[in-house]
Structure 1
Amino acid sequence: MADLSPIDLQKALKGANYPADRDELVECARSNGADDSLVSKLSDLGASRFDGPNDVQQAVFRE
C-alpha cells in the first residue's frame, strides 16, 4: 500500500488500547476518521490479536 504512511497508521490508531484484536483496531480507525483503504487494510490483516502498535505496523507494511 504505497499511499499509506506509518504516520497515517499512527493517527488512525490513536487511543487504541493494547493488546487489541483486529476488530477493535478497525473500530478505532473508523472513529478516528481513517479513510476506507486504511480500514480495509486493517480488516484484512492475517493476525487477529496485536500486542502493540509495532505489531500492527509490521503486519500492515509487511505486505
Structure 2
Amino acid sequence: MTDADERRVNKALQGLEFPADKQRLLRYAEDRQADPRTLRALRTLPEGTYQDSAEVASAVPQRPEQESSSG
C-alpha cells in the first residue's frame, strides 16, 4: 500500500468508531462515498476485527488493485 493509498483509507474511515470488522469498514466507507480504488482496497482485507485505521492500512495488500482486477 502506498502512502497515497493509506491517506485515502484513513480519510474514508475518519470518524469511524473502532474496533470494527471488515463489513462495518466497508459499509462506512461506502456511506462516505469513498472512491472506487479505496473500496477495492478495503474489499481485499482479511476478515476480522480491526482496532484502528493504521491496522486497516497495514492489512491491505501492497497492490490491492491487482487482487481484484476483474472489476
User: Does the 8 A contact of 2:50 with 2:56 survive in 1?
Assistant: yes
Task: State whether structure 2 residue 13 is matched by structure 1 residue 6.
Answer: no
Mapped pair 1:37 → 2:37? yes
Stretches of 4+ moved more than 3 A in 1? none
Q: Deviations over 1:8-41 (max 9, x none)?
A: 1111111111100001100111111111221122
Is the contact made by 1:14 and 1:32 (CA closer than 8 Å) also made in structure 2?
Answer: no
Task: Flag the structure with larger Rg.
Answer: 2
Structure 1 gaps of 5+ residues are none
Q: Given the alignment of the two structures, is residue 56 of structure 1 paired with residue 52 of structure 2, yes or no?
A: no
Equivalent-residue separation in structure 2 for 1:62 and 1:42 (angstroms): 12
Q: Normalization by structure 1: what TM-score? A: 0.77
TM-score w.r.t. length of structure 2 = 0.70
